[in-house]
């Protein structure tokens, strides 16, 4: 073993010494280790077959059946209107309290409520709830209360209803795309997104950006085009079987086929399509960047993960590359489909139309990727809420609650989680194939053209199913 002799000086001896250092077992033996023992190739192949069969089934079902499916909607009742400022103000207060814990609470990210509530409860669990229950964020977001608060001073009051600038139509969803890129970079590439104080800074910065956008362009315009999470949660909520129609002062709640409301999404402009593709590519990259394949590709030893700081440059390029690759593959699938269908529909319209089918896949990846984190870190979150400022409080009686870490380390639960992940990924692609087919039927009058147009898109979805299952089963660091 090469040894560094003290006093030899220079970088090389130091480097040599570092390289000669032993370390404890890096990537851990369980979790992926147990999945590696499963017949994952069969799962991957089976998932691909299911998606392919879905396409075949869709091609065989008559259009009338699909229309019936679209019309299936059952009213559950109506609820009276409420003052939307109240839940918004409550959320604003909660966020303010969490930011305070970020600055003045425990320094440990698994004991401080801010990172746990933001990354686990809000970004993961709330997204799951949107796919089940519908657009909760539309009622819960803090922006309405923030906007009201900012427009209280007399010199800003007139901006509440008449903002100084009208939102430029050409900007479309691009501000949200830029902000989502920044958000994804902070979450996936930045070295310390869980550091409570740094995260509190980030939240404050995002609030300032949103406040500026809402003041200058009006709240509705900014929430529709610039505020990442209003857009993200809205598109995820289209997967939910629940929806609401406003009738006067009341809202009628209905239940329908899960995912069918995606068909009402309309045609996205280029920025909107980019936003959806970014949502999928960012979560894909998070999984991909931990694989041995990627680490080997970028010249890192996967058993000696060098830490996020050392990979900031590499992973920044990787995130951009995966986004770019997905955009290219998606465009290629649509263009090829257009060629096969010999359609006269503008290609821009088709790109903005079929991107809706990517939404279930983005959610499926979100679900599968974050499920283990949700199961573990939600327990830490519950514990942290009892003593948010590390003062020895026990507000909700969970301060000394034991976190069952074995939920992500023991064989039975690992296998259960893996099976849930597989179901999530495959089901998402099945829904995506079905939605794409429905959209094609609408877009192309000729049923044969509709089927032909979807062959490349189905190939893309089969490939992405296999990619998703491979991401969850291949050796990975951490």
Partner 1 sequence: MTRLTFRGEDAAMTTRDSDRKAAQTRRRGVSRRGLFKGAALAGGAAVGGLVGGVIPSPFTPRAASATDKPLKLGFQAHRTGIGAGYGRWYERTTKAAVKLINETGGIGGRPIELIVEDDGTDPKRGAEVVEKFANLHKVDFVFGTLFSHVVIGSAPRAGELKMPYFVVSETPAVPNGQFSRYVFQAGTSDVRSQMVAVAKWVLDKFGKKVTMIFPDYAFGYAHRDYFGAAVKANGGTIKELIPIPPRESSFTKYFPRVPSDTELLYHVMVGPGVLTFVREMGEHFGSNRPQIFGFIDSLEGVDMASPGLEFLEGTHFWEGFPRYADGLPTRAADFYRQKVGMTETGTYVDDPKDTAYASHMFGCWETLFAIKQTVEQSGYVDPTAKDKAAFIETLENTRWFNEGIEHPQGHKLFRGGTHQAHAVQFISQVENQRLKVVHSTTIEDSLYEPEYDYTKQPL
Binding site for partner 1 (CB under 8 A): 1, 3-4, 6, 17-34, 36-37, 106-111, 191-192, 194-195, 292-293, 296, 301-310, 402-406, 409-411, 413, 474-478
Measured from the CB of residue 46, what is the shortest distance to partner 1 in angstroms?
A: 21
Q: Considering the complex, state which of residue 29 and residue 61 has its C-beta at the smaller distance from partner 1.
A: 29
Q: What is the DSSP code (8-state) at residue 169?
A: G
Q: Considering the complex, state which of residue 32 and residue 369 has its C-beta at the smaller distance from partner 1.
A: 32
Count other C-beta atoms under 10 Å from residue 64's C-beta. Answer: 8
Q: Considering the complex, state which of residue 78 and residue 409 has its C-beta at the smaller distance from partner 1.
A: 409
Q: Considering the complex, state which of residue 106 and residue 350 has its C-beta at the smaller distance from partner 1.
A: 106
Rounded CA-CA distance 55/49 in Å is 10
Q: Considering the complex, state which of residue 84 and residue 302 has its C-beta at the smaller distance from partner 1.
A: 302
Rounded CA-CA distance 341/345 in Å is 10
Token code pair at residue 132: 């089940």
Count other C-beta atoms under 10 Å from residue 134's C-beta. Answer: 24
DSSP 301-367: -GGG---TGGGHHHHHHHHHHHHHHHHHHHHHHHHHHHHHHT--S-HHHHHHHHGGGHHHHHHHHHH
Measured from the CB of residue 8, what is the shortest distance to partner 1 in angstroms?
A: 12
Rounded CA-CA distance 181/277 in Å is 11
- Contact (Cβ atoms closer than 8 angstroms) between residue 141 and residue 223: yes
Q: Considering the complex, state which of residue 406 and residue 446 has its C-beta at the smaller distance from partner 1.
A: 406
- Contact (Cβ atoms closer than 8 angstroms) between residue 441 and residue 341: no
Cα separation of the two ends of the chain: 27
Measured from the CB of residue 469, what is the shortest distance to partner 1 in angstroms?
A: 16
Rounded CA-CA distance 457/179 in Å is 28
Q: Considering the complex, state which of residue 245 and residue 304 has its C-beta at the smaller distance from partner 1.
A: 304
Q: Considering the complex, state which of residue 121 and residue 477 has its C-beta at the smaller distance from partner 1.
A: 477
- What is the C-alpha R_g of the chain? 24
Measured from the CB of residue 4, what is the shortest distance to partner 1 in angstroms?
A: 7
- Which among 264, 255, 262, 268 is positioned nearest to 237, based on CA atoms? 262
């Amino acid at each position: 073993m090469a040894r560094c002799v003290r006093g030899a000086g220079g970088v090389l001896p130091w480097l040599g010494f570092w390289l000669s250092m032993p370390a404890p077992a890096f990537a851990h033996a369980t979790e992926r280790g147990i999945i590696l023992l499963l017949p994952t190739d069969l799962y991957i192949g089976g998932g691909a077959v299911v998606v392919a069969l879905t396409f075949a089934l869709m091609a065989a079902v008559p259009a009338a059946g699909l229309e019936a499916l679209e019309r299936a909607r059952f009213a559950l009742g109506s609820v009276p209107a409420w003052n939307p400022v109240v839940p918004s103000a409550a959320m604003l207060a909660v966020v303010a309290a969490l930011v305070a814990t970020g600055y003045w609470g425990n320094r440990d990210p698994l004991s401080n409520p801010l990172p746990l509530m933001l990354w686990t409860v809000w970004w993961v669990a709330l997204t799951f709830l949107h796919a089940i229950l519908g657009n909760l964020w539309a009622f819960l977001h803090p922006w309405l209360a923030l906007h009201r608060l900012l427009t209280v001073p007399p010199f800003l009051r007139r901006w509440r209803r008449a903002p100084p600038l009208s939102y430029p139509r050409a900007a479309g969803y691009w501000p949200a795309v830029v902000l989502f890129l920044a958000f994804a970079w902070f979450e996936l590439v930045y070295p310390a997104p869980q550091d409570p104080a740094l995260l509190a800074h980030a939240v404050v910065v995002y609030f300032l950006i949103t406040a500026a956008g809402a003041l200058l362009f009006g709240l509705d315009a900014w929430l529709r085009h610039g505020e990442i999470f209003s857009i993200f949660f809205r598109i995820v909520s289209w997967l939910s079987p629940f929806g609401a129609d406003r009738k006067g002062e009341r809202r009628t709640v209905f239940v329908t086929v899960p995912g069918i409301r995606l068909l009402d999404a309309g045609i996205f402009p280029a920025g909107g399509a980019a936003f959806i593709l970014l949502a999928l590519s960012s979560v894909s990259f998070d999984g991909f960047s931990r694989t041995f394949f990627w680490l080997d590709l970028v010249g890192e030893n996967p058993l000696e993960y060098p830490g996020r700081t050392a990979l900031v440059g590499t992973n920044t390029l990787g995130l951009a590359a995966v986004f770019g690759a997905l955009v290219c593959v998606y465009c290629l699938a649509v263009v090829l489909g257009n060629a096969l269908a010999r359609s006269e529909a503008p290609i821009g319209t088709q790109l903005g139309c079929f991107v809706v089918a990517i939404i279930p896949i983005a959610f499926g990846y979100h679900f599968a990727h974050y499920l283990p984190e949700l199961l573990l870190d939600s327990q830490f979150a519950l514990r942290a809420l009892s003593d948010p400022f590390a003062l020895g409080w026990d507000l909700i009686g969970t301060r000394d609650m034991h976190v069952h870490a074995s939920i992500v380390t023991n064989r039975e639960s690992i296998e259960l989680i893996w099976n849930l992940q597989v179901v999530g990924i495959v089901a998402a692609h099945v829904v995506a194939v079905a939605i794409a087919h429905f959209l094609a039927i609408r877009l192309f009058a000729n049923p044969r053209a509709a089927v032909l147009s979807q062959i490349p898109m189905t190939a893309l979805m089969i490939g992405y199913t296999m990619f998703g299952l491979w991401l969850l089963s291949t050796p990975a660091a951490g």
